[in-house]
Structure 1
Amino acid sequence: MNTPNQLFENAVRFLNQRDFQRAHQCCVDVIQRFGDHPHAYFLLGVIHIELGQINKAIKLLEKSNALEARAVSFAYLAKCFALRGDMHKALDASAKAEPASLTRALDLDTVGVALSRVGLHEKALAYFDKALSIDSSNPQYHYNFAVSNKFVGQFDTARKHFEVAIKLAPHFYQAHFALSDLGKATANSNHIAQLLAAADSASNNIEGRLHIGHALAKEYEGLGDYDKAFFALKHAKAPQAKASEDSLASFSQLFQYLKHDITRSHSNSSDGEQSDAPIFVIGMPRSGTTLVERILSHHSEVASGGELQDFGVAVKSLTKTASPHVLDLATLQAAQQIDKKSIGQLYMERTQYLRNKGERLVDKLPFNFFYINLIRQALPNAKIVCLMRDPMDTCVGNYRQLFSINSPYYAYAYSLNTIGQMYNGFRDWVHAFQQAFPENIRLQSYEALVNDPQKEVASLLAYCNLSWEAQCIDVDKNTLPVSTASKVQVREPINTRSIGRWKHYETHTTELQKLLGYC
């Protein structure tokens, strides 16, 4: 008869072989033969993480900790909460798994990834650093350490560890892209040869093809060869064109519903949660939302939460709709039937830990534009700042950007046509909302902001009921981490270099120009 230790060894072996069924059975055998055992519940939790069953994994890991609280269990709980977008609980769990309490590189890396996933890169670095001190041969550890260094502005350190990751794993596609994304490609110093070599092995791998294609585009842009950059992007994105069409159909449904719903949702502002703390910064990706967040978060009375999922999660949890998606038509429809004040209260509870008493909070999730009417009803005193940038610069910027591949929000971005239609839907919706509720939203021109920052920042602060502070203009001196695609650019002073950048691709975007009304 097997002992518990023998069963655990078998379970770990099967888990490493990704034979989840036999690993699961070993853990169940321990519980059936020897009663509740913390290690059995812990391994069951890890198995369910691997299977993508996060809520079940949380229950199992919490059961393990109830029997015997261990730092390693809290490490994996932090990962689960981060995957679920629950930043507060992820932070709480990680606090019970301090670097000093963990001895395995994998466990340290797990907590680091959880912290970086919720934007806490400075905290994550301590875990990644210790993981590398234990095992410097793992390319993933170097990559994770480099990513967090990139977000906190330590670009030289990031570059060094991306290069190590590639040396250890030449076909590490994400590391190739991340290195190219740091820029500085010149005719005498670039990674084009490496990337072309890696492209062959990536041709049948959708994610690999996207990473290598975008990396090549970055390198060619650095050399001023925009034709090659465009064709690298087009080749990389081609297999995902159908996903873009499907995504656009879903978003079009949402825009249609929202514009219809706005005509019958003039609820009284006294019905909502009355806090004036939140400032929502929204807009299409690549439209300047990060710049505005950096301006506002440099104010002495403002904290930043980054790209928070909390408003959407609050709506989803209160509507209890059956679909697996946080944002969909059924959830928006169901939200009109629930008490709006409860949405506002839950949002404030979920984000309270991000700010000190009396501070305002910037929530910079671009796609919160789908929720602006609910925000108006749930948090009537919140400020909403919507970025409006030149349509071609915005759309070409979306096409040039490698967004999160597995996020349903960005599936529209693999085709210039679907990006253009998405932009038109967004523009029509926010203009309809502004017409109905002009006091609830500020449409902020990106071009006006960068051409005359003194005037526009003063006006922006006044709209947000914030006093003038000259430091807000000095975004390059804002030391907060940047967890967005703009992480390199926003560490520079405000400038106009990005205006008209789309014209590098003018000959390749004729149909998009027609779609957006340029010709």
Structure 2
Amino acid sequence: MSIRSNSPAATEAAPAFMQQIAQGNALLRQGRTDEAIALGVTLVDMYPDQARAFAFLAEASRVGGDLQAAIGWIDKAIQCSPDPQHKIKKAWLLSRLLRRDEIPSLAEQIDAQAGDDRMLRWQLGKLYYHHNFLPEAIKQYERALAVGEDNPSWRYDLAIARFYGGDSDKAEGDLNRVLAVSPQAGAVIYLRSTLRRQRQDQNHVADIEARLKTVFRSAEDEAGALYALAKELEDLGEYERSFSMLLAGAKKKRSAIQYDAAAFRAMTDEIRAAQNAESMAIPVAGHDEEGAIFILGLPRTGTTLAERMLLQSGEVKDAGELMDFGFHLTAAMQRVRAVAPELSPAEATMKLDFAALGREYMRGARQMAGGSALFIDKLPANYMYCGMIRKALPKAKIIHLVRDPLDSCYAIFKTLFFNAYDFSYDLDELAEYYIAYRHMMRHWHDVLPGAILDVRYEDLVTDTEVQAKRIYDWCGLAWTPDALRVPDTKAVFATASAAQVREPVHTRSVNSSRKHADRLVPLIKKLKAAGVLDA
């Protein structure tokens, strides 16, 4: 980045200035944030025309958790310099603050300045992708890759965007190009296998087996290849070999992550104790706005199919799998505990300003849904927050997808989620998590009678029209036969089920776990002992 030289001493001071910036970055790396902020304040006083000083102070403020201050400082950097990198930084700060409606106009400015700057094009693509603008993200990724040498990491980003956007053929071409230069990239191998249902005359089994004969760079890369092989073998009906590969992949993946099952159980117990029938019955002033539809439960239980049926109405938009409600809930809880530290996190949630919580959530979520009157938040883990959703948004619709316990656990176990669902790579931990989830949902039904619509996956795929009409009625939507239509292949579904959800409704996954009943005995025993699986 160039340093401006409008002040008389700027040219002479440039080496010292850069040395101070380097010192500030070192302080941030060492976790000495307060000292870095103090240095930044000194620098903007000494060099009031230097964009780099303001940009550094913005970054230090961000690391220190003061995002509002960071926005103010990056605005000053933009005033000093037209460098679009400052605008990229501002866009991500706006995203963190959930001021997403301000991002599109800023992105247009960056686009106008980007020219043939491939790095900037890629950064802009990432920004668009993160905010559900898939066509715009694909365009920027393509422009970034059209200039200079190919970049495998960027091409992988393009492949993911194309996959979610419904263009599996081009996505596979991109992934093959990545594998030509990074043959052990486990995430790439796995994504390629999930693009479509594999056939005897079209699969990658031999290719994956050949890659697995080499020594992988990391356990996670090897896990990706093993999960890919398991998926393709299952598609081809080789169930025993498939499950063997799956067990090996899960073991590799589990070795690379940290997960504390006991801590999760303790948290759910605490939530149920604090948000009991008595406390949930206490009237509060929530945010009375309509329009939010929460589809929740566990992954791979039909949540995306239910979402697809609602989107086909033409009246509902997809806001994505938002982390927003948990984000706002945590922030509000921390504010309560700042003045009442004796309260546990769960106890603090009962002291919130629920109207403010609901209002903040709706503001950000609507932005992600393009301002639509009705929108879907499809984050499965929102099941943890049903009580708080009811308090903060009394007019929100909550739809809970339920699936056969063994099928549900098996569908989760055979999916490689990368950076989510850490409980899913060990059968004992998966069983413990499932049991805790069932206890939680039973609790919500007990303390919030009539507030949650349960939809069984098995009913949804065997009696589709009846179940779709239940969902429409619950959401106050006029029925349309379009709900049953198979979506356009270019429809966007940013989910692990993106390939399957573009197919006609089918029943082949019902009782799919029974093919592996002998191998799932430890899981079955735990589920039966907990009373969540019939004999």
Fold-level similarity (TM above 0.5): yes
The counterpart of 1:206, out of the listed 204, 219, 222, is 219
The corresponding residue for 2:484 is 473
Q: Distance in 1 between matches of 2:65 and 2:284?
A: 40
Residue identity opposite 2:463 in structure 1: D
Alignment of 1:68-147 (within 5 A): 68-79=81-92, 87-88=100-101, 91=104, 93-98=106-111, 101-147=114-160
- Verify: 1:300 aligned to 2:311, yes or no: no
Q: Counterpart of 1:336 in 2: which secondary structure?
A: helix
Alignment of 1:176-215 (within 5 A): 176-187=189-200, 189-199=202-212, 203=216, 205-215=218-228
The counterpart of 2:471, out of the listed 443, 460, 468, is 460
Residue identity opposite 1:371 in structure 2: Y
Q: Distance in 1 between matches of 2:92 and 2:243?
A: 37
Bigger mean CA offset, 447-456 vs 73-82: 73-82
The corresponding residue for 2:272 is 259
Contact 1:447-1:499 within 8 A present in 2 as well: yes
Q: Distance in 2 between matches of 1:176 and 1:205?
A: 14
Q: Counterpart of 1:319 in 2: which secondary structure?
A: helix
Q: How many residue pairs end up in the alignment?
A: 506
Residue identity opposite 2:147 in structure 1: I
Q: Pairwise CA RMSD of aligned residues?
A: 3.7
The counterpart of 1:485, out of the listed 483, 487, 496, is 496
Contact 2:132-2:368 within 8 A present in 1 as well: no
The counterpart of 1:378, out of the listed 392, 410, 426, is 392
Contact 2:131-2:368 within 8 A present in 1 as well: no
- Verify: 1:440 aligned to 2:442, yes or no: no
The corresponding residue for 2:404 is 390
- Verify: 1:402 aligned to 2:411, yes or no: no
* Cα shift at 1:216: 1.9
Alignment of 1:266-285 (within 5 A): 266-267=280-281, 271-285=285-299
Q: Distance in 2 between matches of 1:90 and 1:160?
A: 31
Q: Distance in 2 between matches of 1:412 and 1:237?
A: 11
The counterpart of 2:304, out of the listed 277, 281, 290, is 290
* Cα shift at 1:170: 2.1
Residue identity opposite 1:211 in structure 2: G
User: Aligned in 2, Cα 1:356/1:182: closer, same or farther, shift over 3 Å?
Assistant: closer
The counterpart of 1:424, out of the listed 428, 435, 460, is 435
Q: Distance in 2 between matches of 1:58 and 1:377?
A: 32
The corresponding residue for 1:166 is 179
Q: Distance in 2 between matches of 1:167 and 1:500?
A: 38
Deviations 1:85-117 (A, max 9, x none): 775565564343226635321221112123223
* Cα shift at 1:41: 4.5
Q: Distance in 2 between matches of 1:173 and 1:45?
A: 36
Contact 2:280-2:448 within 8 A present in 1 as well: no
Q: Counterpart of 1:431 in 2: which secondary structure?
A: helix
Q: Counterpart of 1:312 in 2: which secondary structure?
A: helix
Provide structure 1 residue ranges, at least 5 long, that are not aligned to the other structure: 324-328
The corresponding residue for 1:346 is 360
Residue identity opposite 2:309 in structure 1: I
Residue identity opposite 1:390 in structure 2: D
Deviations 1:444-464 (A, max 9, x none): 111111111111111111111
* Cα shift at 1:242: 7.2
- Verify: 1:511 aligned to 2:522, yes or no: yes
Q: Distance in 1 between matches of 2:195 and 2:372?
A: 37
Q: Distance in 2 between matches of 1:171 and 1:232?
A: 17
Q: Counterpart of 2:389 in 1: which secondary structure?
A: helix
Alignment of 1:219-258 (within 5 A): 219-239=232-252, 241=254, 246-258=259-271
Bigger mean CA offset, 332-341 vs 480-489: 332-341
Deviations 1:214-247 (A, max 9, x none): 1221222233222222222222222554788843
Q: Counterpart of 1:494 in 2: which secondary structure?
A: coil
The corresponding residue for 1:326 is none
Q: Distance in 2 between matches of 1:20 and 1:378?
A: 39
Residue identity opposite 1:312 in structure 2: G
Q: Counterpart of 2:280 in 1: which secondary structure?
A: coil
Provide structure 2 residue ranges, at least 5 long, that are not aligned to the other structure: 1-9, 31-35, 338-342
User: Aligned in 2, Cα 1:160/1:99: closer, same or farther, shift over 3 Å?
Assistant: farther
Bigger mean CA offset, 413-422 vs 168-177: 168-177
The corresponding residue for 1:67 is 80
Q: Distance in 2 between matches of 1:58 and 1:444?
A: 44
Deviations 1:282-302 (A, max 9, x none): 011111111111111221321
User: Aligned in 2, Cα 1:183/1:492: closer, same or farther, shift over 3 Å?
Assistant: closer
User: Aligned in 2, Cα 1:372/1:360: closer, same or farther, shift over 3 Å?
Assistant: same
Bigger mean CA offset, 74-83 vs 246-255: 74-83
User: Aligned in 2, Cα 1:298/1:91: closer, same or farther, shift over 3 Å?
Assistant: same
Q: Distance in 1 between matches of 2:148 and 2:20?
A: 24
TM-score by length of structure 2 reads 0.83
Contact 1:243-1:411 within 8 A present in 2 as well: no
Contact 2:226-2:248 within 8 A present in 1 as well: yes
Q: Distance in 2 between matches of 1:226 and 1:298?
A: 35
User: Aligned in 2, Cα 1:8/1:292: closer, same or farther, shift over 3 Å?
Assistant: farther
